[in-house]
Chain A
């Protein structure tokens, strides 16, 4: 089939955006991919393992990151944002803001010497603020493109007009403080796919987690934080330790539906927590066979392929106990051990459990910047502020020629995100090929 003159734009470089871009590119359609962060990879790159096979997440993702970067039909704009879209299905004009990294992309070889020398310590966003990075940094170890970025907000040169140590340290002369943001114009874009993923409720409003002691008690962490703690390349090198005293937890409580299925925060179900919680408890047990895990849940939602047997394995082989319950309160004792007060929904009794660590399965919420993106694209959001789709016309937004996939329109797991991404690519190809 002849190479079409029209291209596709994929917004978001997580697993959904990556799959959509690769499918289109493999069809011979040119794809421009825009990612807000300095590197593609999205949430999946932050995960340690993936259910129900417990495959190492970055291990199965990394080849896809490379493929996206190398594919002759994909142009990658990382550290960039879409700021203007005009036109209609089959012929959009797009303006991309490509932020200055202050590092020459063709010169940097990601040797890391600049970061070693940089004197500034900054909270690491990728590691959920659980460790420090430098003001010049790689977004994450296996990040693609493998180029350093200077954090302008934190860099001493930009904030105090001092330092420039990185510039001296770089043998490749890749540091460029004069670099400027660029506006890139794309024309003849046939179709757009929105795949900007999600945030977690604590990213938007930590206060709603107050009643669970999050941010107040050191031994209460969120599930994504716990994921980073389990991960070999994470802040504790994969050895889980309590933040209060550095000891290894022997008893962990996993609390479900935190911020979701709730009248106070979000009404909807976050879809993936029952499964990833079981996975996190399994992995923690693999690290330490003396571990006891308690999962406090309302309904176990395990409808996908192999999910029921995954839960069974969790119970039978990984010392996980599932307690159908409602959480009333969390307090701590003098050793900062969390105490969970709950109503056992199987017996109706009010009970207490003292544990070493609490992990909160916090709710998926629409991604930061969704309102602005929706306005730029001219697409509608639904009652929950996710991108609006219709059940029987899936992957289609309210605007013709603009499609969507993954968690930006509803919480969902990786296989469904990937399937939807391919689905969105198919629909985009239909528009581009004039069908």
Chain B
């Protein structure tokens, strides 16, 4: 669109979305759209069943053309999911993407006030009036272009990390694989066989390490630790320490594949490390074929699905089945009893594995969490509700199926990367459904058990997934990032007293004092949160797209006509 049109008097188009029945089920969207016609500068309005559908988007473009609109307001759901779509739509219609304003009348009206339709309607009307008033004041902005360094860092040399690094290097990107232990392989190094095909872990890990070592473009750094991370998408500087000396790696993307840890079993269900051990301690005994026990009892969910660790660790049932079958293979006369709550063997092969275990004579007894099995010296007492009585199961080896837990040092790494952890201290992805291997922070990705306990198969595919996501950035020479950032405009520079409060409060480390002793805002790092603007004592900082003038216009429009 021509510059003139953007600078002409504002002609706002308002599109009120029914969002199916999410909004339209509670309030009258058609009436809202009609009433919006009376708001100042509103040149056109309509309601759509789904404004985000191709039909709705076509309607916006058509109206921009027909009514010569130069501002667009969509009153619908949330900018978190839909703002990029509508911005792109108005760009296609010839408008600068920042001349779009989002009004959320779903989450903020019909959802939270679902029991109060009249009030929800009134509030929606207010919000639309305010949104239209702000739209009038919107200014065109440019996206910020950043250069991309086509190199990647993978943190963690387990199965997920090796898969990610191998893929990225084969795609042609310079890749660094950093592992804190002396040897690559991670958890696989301590396992004997792998379900569901019972191949030896050493075989799989051996092949992987071999491939990683042979790969071009791939630099392996073992006994190395990430100490500091600076920068932003496309331009990270990572300090890696090995044997006391540091090296700076320059990369465009970072993959977190640090895996998980084992639960310390001390004090758990009679654990003593000898006669009462964990599945992980059983693995080497099976590997060395030194298991003598004849009566083995395994207890599932030992230390998980309780108040302290409310989650299912998802790999323990299959691990127990695998080890039980291996015991049977080494000693067909052994009795294995598995005490479980819900057996977790989803999908095709795993369910078949469970069947096989039952056919091999492994005994399964369900226990209830309110009546935990009682561990005695040589026997376990477990209440079996199905037969309505207590069962006594003798053992000479008790094996606890303990969960995978988050690494203790996840917090440090999360702080360096500025990414969040969830309640159990695993890493928290950008969206659990549709962005399972992204972080909200651009240029940082996640795969494997660092995010949530997963088996080998999923660790590998998630390693690849993280590589794919990283590749979507690394494949470009430059990348556009958000233009609605904080700024210190030339005309405001004289207002800045150099107090550096903004430098201290910025959660993204986007503000620095440069060599000329002037405040400088690194656009690519800024997320436009506005904290600096709010704290600037001299009001020198302007938050683009959320200027004082724009916000005041919204406030003044509240309750007005």
Contacts and interface: CB of A to CB of B under 8 A. Distances in A.
A59 B19 contact: yes
B16 to A, nearest CB: 16
Among B22, B204, B314, B342, max chain A CB count under 10 A is at: B342
A208 to B, nearest CB: 18
A82 interface: no
Contact of A308 (B54, B82, B310): B310
Among A62, A70, A300, A384, max chain B CB count under 10 A is at: A62
Given A28-B476, A66-B85, A306 B432 contact: yes
B53 interface: yes
A422 B437 contact: yes
B344 A110 contact: no
A395 interface: yes
Interface stretch (B116-124, B126-134, B393-401, B453-461): B453-461
A429 B346 contact: no
B433 A50 contact: yes
Among B54, B196, B457, max chain A CB count under 10 A is at: B54
Given A53-B433, A392-B456, A429-B171, A348 B388 contact: yes
Contacts of B434: 15, 19, 60, 64, 414-415, 418
B310 A312 contact: yes
Interface string A81-111: 0000000000000000000000000000110
B465 A26 contact: no
A227 interface: no
Contact of A110 (B55, B169, B387, B463): B55
B146 interface: no
Interface stretch (B4-12, B320-328, B347-355): B347-355
B199 interface: yes
A144 B467 CA distance: 29
Contact of A268 (B313, B351, B426): B351
Nearest to A57: B433
Contact of A305 (B342, B451, B458, B472): B451
Among B58, B311, B422, B453, max chain A CB count under 10 A is at: B311
Given A308-B312, A411-B348, A347 B437 contact: no
Interface stretch (A116-124, A209-217, A229-237, A369-377): A229-237
Contacts of A237: 21
Nearest to B203: A392
Interface in B333-392: 342-352, 355, 366, 368, 385-388
Contacts of B433: 50, 53, 55, 60, 414-415, 418
A391 B54 contact: no
Interface string B145-173: 00000100000000000000001011110
B254 interface: no
A423 interface: yes
B464 interface: yes
Nearest to B435: A418
B459 to A, nearest CB: 9
Among A52, A56, A238, A419, max chain B CB count under 10 A is at: A419
Contacts of B55: 110, 146
Given A62-B50, A419-B461, A56 B22 contact: yes
A246 interface: no
A65 B434 CA distance: 13
Interface in B279-335: 305, 310-314
Given A268-B352, A426-B464, A346 B386 contact: yes
A233 B385 contact: no
Nearest to A25: B472
B194 interface: yes
A63 B172 contact: no
A368 B310 CA distance: 39
A395 B385 CA distance: 42
Nearest to B458: A416
B136 interface: no
B458 A232 contact: no
A425 interface: yes
Given A1-B474, A269-B347, A425 B468 contact: yes
B355 A267 contact: yes
A30 to B, nearest CB: 13
Interface string A382-415: 1110100011111100000000000000111011
Interface in A45-61: 50, 52-53, 55-56, 58-60
A271 interface: yes
Interface in B8-66: 19-22, 24-25, 49-50, 52-55, 57-58
Contacts of A50: 433
B231 interface: no
Given A26-B472, A59-B19, A411-B348, A423 B312 contact: no
A331 interface: no
Contacts of A427: 167, 464
B436 A419 contact: yes
A382 B352 CA distance: 13
Interface string B392-427: 000000000000000000000000000000100010
Interface string B56-86: 0110000000000000000001000110110
A378 interface: no
B471 interface: yes
A356 interface: no
B550 interface: no
Among B386, B463, B466, max chain A CB count under 10 A is at: B386
Interface in A303-327: 303-309, 312, 324
A269 B461 contact: no
A283 interface: no
A345 B342 CA distance: 12
A145 interface: yes
B347 A299 contact: no
A146 B461 contact: no
B350 A300 contact: no
B475 A27 contact: yes
Among A237, A347, A422, max chain B CB count under 10 A is at: A422
A430 interface: yes
Contacts of B422: 305-306
A75 interface: no
Contacts of A19: 434
B50 A422 contact: no
Contacts of B84: 63
Nearest to B159: A392
Please name the 10 residue pairs, one residue from A and one from B, whose CB atoms are nearest each other, closest first. A435-B170, A232-B21, A303-B314, A232-B20, A423-B464, A146-B54, A426-B468, A422-B465, A26-B472, A423-B461
11 contacts: A59-B22, A268-B351, A271-B347, A312-B310, A345-B366, A394-B460, A426-B171, A426-B468, A427-B167, A430-B170, A435-B169
Given A23-B471, A238-B21, A268-B348, 8 more contacts: A52-B432, A59-B77, A62-B85, A66-B54, A146-B58, A269-B345, A301-B344, A391-B349
Interface of A: 1, 15, 19, 23, 26-28, 50, 52-53, 55-56, 58-60, 62-67, 69-70, 109-110, 141-146, 231-233, 237-238, 261, 267-269, 271, 299-309, 312, 324, 345-348, 382-384, 386, 390-395, 410-412, 414-416, 418-427, 429-430, 433, 435
